[in-house]
Structure 1
């Protein structure tokens, strides 16, 4: 494919998460086509900052709690330093929402899909997504949005347990999260104990639990143009995640699923979204329905799982479309596998203990894409390893010292 090498790409991230393999994957994907790549990083020693395909990193530590005006001003400063129109590649909801809601201010130095300004925030919200699913007939787990402790008490007396608690708004994980990630709650007493700490206006949702023994986790990644037409569409099955069954993808396969692709495309057309999407679905074998759990209005960290026979992934489709180039159509590379090295090992151990398997996962991969290791770009892997291992080694050292002191004290 002939990418426009005169138009750079900028990886936009808001918040402190330096070990992000998705950003590294996007830098490599476009960089291998000769596209000049830039990235916002926490410091100069993140894996992304050391990729051979990165022309320059802009060190800008953020927390996700900054005022939008401050973030927009920072992006505009970076745009002036790059000095030419640049395709924005957001890697988190905060960045995707910021770009959409401040499109007028960012449109000069940057290129991005012309999505309706309020839509990404609504899709990133668990409540907003559920309301859109209900409006358009898309199956989703039964969900309650409690407004008070009394409402939770009533729910606890009637609900079938276990249930799942999640933060209502995606951004709350960086501010004052009521729960940390997806939290499984086993019974009424446990729910009421937790709810006492959620305050008078609980910022959570309570959702039907889909038992893993009766469900399969599916993912859809795609890129939609300004008319909400899919220019690249991919489906796959998640084999392992970390934390188990509720976290980020650790191991996944490309599996053809025309029914799910059609459902996703119809939903996107109905709501009028354009840009990259990363959708999490759970197939409930009890009623034979695919239920939409999460809608990420940006590239997913595991997007490099998916590529078609023409070499297109969603990030390449984004850059080609926004620079006026045709996006080649081709079949997805079925059977391809994606592995996130630093989290798949503990995930594998956890899944083996539980005995859980994914029926639709191929017995053998047709090819494997590693999140970190790449023969032509090894520095991100070694940097990840150093930053990933160091906290664990420090913890073990502190644990050894405390036990040694305890042993000495006991002996004395």
Structure 2
């Protein structure tokens, strides 16, 4: 039965199923569970690619079938396309694709001609998602279209890094240049803060002849605010659903996945995001991370994810529309009802928010604009009408030999202490 927070229930095309597409080994992904629930609660048949039969998404009551397909993210695109086509034949009717990672979004965009028969997805310039997922490509687009972003350097050699280090202002941030670092050994493990010239040169010696990194301006958290934009853009890059919010906590601290966030109305930010997407001609779901730099009063774009964000269920309008529902409605010829976003609503990822809270309190950091009291709470895992994903997450999270608890402990220790001079520490972008 369709469920909506508005007066008129949403009416999706229930003859068109959805398929959650994920490449790589990350079974505890609450975004995929959220997408299965979001469309499944409206009566849309849901399918998902899963690592095994006992992931949280695979056991959801709203999932009709899990296609067990372990991938690493290092496969050739042609193999991934063949696998998608095989799944499409087994579903037996056109399905809306819902990618949950950059690999999936890029593969779909770059193979639209082959995938366009058995699947439905927004049509976009084939090379645009890969460029947006690339740190260098995104920065170049920002410069081209006048969108603020952190000052960034793109060294081509170790000598370039030495010259850069002679005049650089520390601390700074190092990131992998391209999105698909899982295809080879990454230069850095995610976003890395570097505090001294000596620390940069020490790390750079391991980056090879052609460093696959960017070196970016450090935006201190004491002078900044983390904002997020989730939206769905239809044809002609028209925003059919657009939401803004504040990231309260992330894990790892100040650099990782959203652990706690609020919906906060921000017309200026919404306009900035809509204008940029219109300029580059993107269609589909977007998940943007921006940092408001109070030193110059500008929102600086850090990440443009050309796919559904894991915390998308934070955002829903008064008609019951989130970005995944908006995409399904639009691609199946339904109208997308308008409505105000749920200002003050809060989103919590249960398994990572507690360690994030401890780390943030140790550092003394508080988030501006976070309401004192939430107007409502959306939990990432726990849902009264679908308990098995939550229980499965707990079982996998705490089972003997699982890496998750050790990684939380290790990151909390590292994240709550200042980085020693010359060594990488927790990033803040």
TM-score under structure 1 normalisation?
0.95
Gaps of 5+ in 1: 398-412
Cα displacement (A) at 1:194: 0.2
Report the counterpart of residue 108 of structure 1 in structure 2. Answer: 117
Report the counterpart of residue 344 of structure 2 in structure 1. Answer: 335
Report the counterpart of residue 408 of structure 1 in structure 2. Answer: none
Report the counterpart of residue 274 of structure 2 in structure 1. Answer: 265
Report the counterpart of residue 26 of structure 1 in structure 2. Answer: 35
Residues 145-164 of structure 1: matches in 2 within 5 Å?
Answer: 145-164=154-173
Q: Is the 8 A contact 2:264 2:343 kept in 1?
A: yes
- Partners of 1:363 and 1:170 in 2: CA distance: 37
Cα displacement (A) at 1:176: 1.2
Report the counterpart of residue 352 of structure 1 in structure 2. Answer: 361
Whether 2:252 is the aligned partner of 1:243: answer yes
Pairing partner for 1:385 from 367, 389, 394: 394
- Partners of 2:231 and 2:183 in 1: CA distance: 27
Cα displacement (A) at 1:395: 9.6
Q: Is the 8 A contact 2:73 2:182 kept in 1?
A: no
Aligned residues: 397
Gaps of 5+ in 2: 1-9, 407-429
Whether 2:321 is the aligned partner of 1:306: answer no
SS of the equivalent of 1:385 reads helix
Q: Is the 8 A contact 2:74 2:182 kept in 1?
A: no
Whether 2:243 is the aligned partner of 1:234: answer yes
Cα displacement (A) at 1:175: 3.0
Cα displacement (A) at 1:369: 0.3
Q: Which of structures 1 and 2 has the larger relative contact order (alpha carbons within 8 angstroms, sep 6+)?
A: 2
- Partners of 1:205 and 1:395 in 2: CA distance: 29
Report the counterpart of residue 401 of structure 1 in structure 2. Answer: none
Residues 81-100 of structure 1: matches in 2 within 5 Å?
Answer: 81-100=90-109
Report the counterpart of residue 185 of structure 1 in structure 2. Answer: 194
Q: Is the 8 A contact 1:173 1:180 kept in 2?
A: no
- Partners of 2:184 and 2:380 in 1: CA distance: 28
- Partners of 1:396 and 1:324 in 2: CA distance: 45
- Partners of 2:49 and 2:404 in 1: CA distance: 29
Whether 2:378 is the aligned partner of 1:369: answer yes
Structure of larger gyration radius: 1
Pairing partner for 1:317 from 308, 326, 332: 326
- Partners of 1:352 and 1:21 in 2: CA distance: 25
Whether 2:11 is the aligned partner of 1:2: answer yes
SS of the equivalent of 1:359 reads coil
- Partners of 1:386 and 1:145 in 2: CA distance: 43
Cα displacement (A) at 1:125: 0.2
- Partners of 2:176 and 2:170 in 1: CA distance: 19
Report the counterpart of residue 122 of structure 1 in structure 2. Answer: 131
- Partners of 1:393 and 1:302 in 2: CA distance: 24
Q: Is the 8 A contact 1:115 1:226 kept in 2?
A: no
Residues 29-48 of structure 1: matches in 2 within 5 Å?
Answer: 29-48=38-57
Q: Is the 8 A contact 1:307 1:313 kept in 2?
A: yes
Report the counterpart of residue 290 of structure 2 in structure 1. Answer: 281
- Partners of 1:296 and 1:396 in 2: CA distance: 27
Q: Is the 8 A contact 2:249 2:360 kept in 1?
A: yes
Report the counterpart of residue 228 of structure 2 in structure 1. Answer: 219
SS of the equivalent of 2:170 reads coil
Report the counterpart of residue 417 of structure 2 in structure 1. Answer: none
TM-score under structure 2 normalisation?
0.91
CA-to-partner distance for each residue in 1:23-60, whole Å, 9 max, x for gaps?
A: 00000000000000000000000000000000000000
Q: Is the 8 A contact 1:146 1:204 kept in 2?
A: yes
Distance 1:220 1:286, change over 3 A: same
